[in-house]
Structure formats: structure tokens, C-alpha cells
Amino acid sequence: MDIQTIKQRFEIIGNAPQLNRAIDIAVQVAATDLTVLITGESGVGKESFPKIIHSLSSRKHGNYIAVNCGAIPEGTIDSELFGHEKGSFTGAFESRKGYFEVANGGTIFLDEVAELPLSTQVRLLRVLESGEFMRVGSSTVIKTDVRVVAATNVNVPESINKGKFREDLYYRLNTVPINVPALRDRKDDILLLFRKFSSDFSVKYRMPALQLSIDAANLLVNYHWRGNVRQLKNITEQISIIEKERFIGSEILSKYLPDDGFKSNLPVIFREQMGDNEHISERDLLYKVLFDMKRDLNDLKELVHEIMDEDDLPQKPRNSDSHIIRKIINDDIDESGKLNQDDFEAEEIKTTTSILSGFSKQNNSSINSPIQESVVLDESLSLQNNEVEMIKRALKKHNNKRKNAASDLGISERTLYRKIKEFNL
């Protein structure tokens, strides 16, 4: 039987080389008992190929059973495929044959096979290897002679890497692979399919068939068709029912085509291609935060100076503590100009904030005492001296126990150790 005859018999529309190749493989493998794995996106028409294989095989007079593995609940899938004994589980009031037992001598089509639970995959592997299985709740081995054809729209090697599909079962099913091409890879077939669907719906709904303008035809051909043939059929039916006008232009057609199916010429950066750039972005973000902190501290200094100017208080140069901020930033940036995350700690921010908080409290408590005013300002405007004094007091208070002193200061012991070394305490 030639390919054109098979297309007419199973209502397959199209002349794309990839489609003809898939049909040719199905015809050649039909005479054997090899297992076949049909792959392709959802909606490409994978369900036609197991019918071709069964009808051209020596099992054509046997049962043909199609099972949608993704539509059966996980708790009942074993019972559906392999049967069960009476009383094997709640609700099992009588024994029941499974699909593999009913299809003995025929063909069973397992659609969406990648959706099978791992426990069911083990049972299926045994059937494929030895033709044996046991009903749920039984210890009796049953033999079956079934031709298995499976299909999936899932990337099975990726599912194997994620631990969702058994590798040995994949190679057992994939004895003969058949890949059904997506509709966007069969551009010459799109208009043929549209005319076929339009003609069918005109008969079904008793109305004239649709006709496309040149612009609408180009729009139809260049659309991405994520839902493939199924999506094209649904859209053709929608237009046939809803639109009163039988001549369809691009403006009318575009109303029925979702925007996510149009290709974009804009460059897209995929997450897999980012590599280490994602981490670089995080470092740059932290870098920006540090400089924002520096700016906030400078604003705070200006505010303090303005208050002191209004009160006619003596003051020191405004950049007296700028070296502290520079040191915090420089200590955490390596020679390449990037943040050194191993040396960067949140305690540095906490330490600087604590010093500023202490300075603010001392300034507020002393504002009413003219005698102490100048002394407090001298100490406060030198953040380094104030920091050294606070560390000395904490160490003295806790008898030079750095852990306790660090806890009292609100910083880490590592930061305190670095400060002691830095100030030669």
C-alpha cells in the first residue's frame, strides 16, 4: 500500500517530506512486532500512526485499545492496565481484566506514556521484556502477547535526568522511533489543512466554505501554531460559526490568532545562556547598595552640619569621617573592581549604623549642656576615635573576652578581631 492511499484511508493531509518519512517508517515496521515510540508536540496527530501500524500488521484482526495514561488517576492506573482481583482494594467487588489482558493478540496504544507513575513503569517494563504481568492483589503470573505502541509529547531524556522516567523503559519502548513534525515545520500543508477543515465544517453546519485573502493566507502560514493541527482545526471551526462573511481578510483572521503565536524578531536572552552573568548582576546590585549607603551617610552628615550651623556650634571639616566609608567599601572590593563576597559581612553595616546611632544619642543628650557641647562634638565628628573608644570599653568591660565584647557591640567576633588588628588595640 502506497503512502497516498494510506493518507486517504486515515485522513492525513499534507505532503511535507518529514510527514511522508514518518508514514513510511510506520508502514515498514507494521509487519514486525517491535515496540514503537511516537514523539511530537501536542496536536500534531500522533494518534493516527498506531492505527496505521495495527491495520497493516498481522494483528489487524485482534483488539486495538488506545489508553490515555495521563487521564487515568495514579491510584487506579495499575488496575486499569493489568486488572485486579476481588477484594484487592476498597471498591473491588469483583475481579476485572486489565487492558493488557483484553488486548492479548492485538495492539495497545499507550498515549502520554511519560505520565505513568514510576511503579507502573516497572510493571510495564516486565510486560515488554517477558510478556508477563500480575493483577493487582494477585500472585498468579499471566502471559500476554501484545504489540505496544507508545506516544508522548514530553522530552523523555529530560524526564530521565529529572528521575521521572526510567531509562531502561525508554530504550525498551524506543526500539523504533517515529517523530511527527510540528505544523510550523510543514508550512506548505497549512493552507491544505485549512481548506479541508473549512470544507468539512461547511457540510456540517450547512453554510458556504471559507475563503482567505492573500494577506490572510500569508498570516496563516507564518503563524507559530503552538497547538499545531488541533489548534488550526479549532480556529477554522470558530471562524466558520461566528463570522457571517465568508471571505476572510487578515484583520478578521488576526482576531482569532493569539498574540503568543507570532514570532518576534527581538533578541531573547535565555536563562541557560546567562551562565555566571546572573551572579555578576547580584554583585553589581550589592555594589550599588554600598554606594547608596555612602550617599545616605553624606546626607546625614549635611543634616547634622546644618543643625550645628543653626545653633552656632563649632564643627570640624565635613569629610572627617569619609575615610571610614571608603574603607568599608575598599575592604570588600577586590583589585578587579568586583565585590569580594567572602570578605563582605552585614556586620560592617551594623557597626557603622551603631556608631552613627551612638553619635546621635550623645548629641541629643548633650544639646542642653553648653559646657559639654564642644567635647561631645569633637568625639562625635571623629567616627574612628569613637569606634576605637567603644571597642576599648567593651573589651575592658568583659576582661578582653572578644566573644562577649562583640556580642555587646552588636557585631561578629570576626569583625571585632579585624577592628582590633586594624586599630592596633
At residue 11, the pLDDT reads 92
Per-residue cell: 383: 567616627
What residue spans in the chain does CATH classification 3.40.50.300 cover?
A: 3-181
The overall pTM is greater than 0.85: no
At residue 372, the pLDDT reads 41
Give just the sign of the alpha carbon dihedral 116, 32, 27, 56: negative
* Amino acid type, 205: Y
Per-residue cell: 315: 564643627
Kindly report the CATH class assigned to 185-261: mainly alpha
d(CA 37, CA 175): 7
Spatial contact of 39 and 22, defined as CB atoms under 8 Å apart: no
- Find the largest Cα–Cα distance for the chain: 112
d(CA 425, CA 412): 17
Note the CATH architecture for domain 3-181: 3-Layer(aba) Sandwich (3.40)
Backbone φ and ψ of 89, nearest 5°: -160, 170
d(CA 418, CA 196): 80
What residue spans in the chain does CATH classification 1.10.8.60 cover?
A: 185-261
Q: State how far the alpha carbon of 378 is from the alpha carbons of 136, 242, 314, 382, in Å.
A: 87, 84, 9, 7
- What string of pLDDT tens digits covers the 425 residues of the chain? 789 999 999 999 999 999 999 999 999 999 999 999 999 999 999 999 999 999 999 999 999 999 999 999 988 999 999 999 998 888 888 999 999 999 999 999 999 999 999 999 999 999 999 999 999 999 999 999 999 999 999 999 999 999 999 999 999 999 999 999 999 999 999 999 999 999 999 999 999 999 999 999 999 999 999 999 999 999 999 999 999 999 999 999 999 998 876 654 444 443 444 444 444 455 566 666 777 777 777 777 777 777 766 555 444 444 444 444 444 444 444 444 444 444 444 555 555 555 445 444 444 444 344 434 434 434 444 566 777 888 888 888 888 888 888 888 888 877 887 788 777 77
At residue 66, the pLDDT reads 97
At residue 411, the pLDDT reads 82
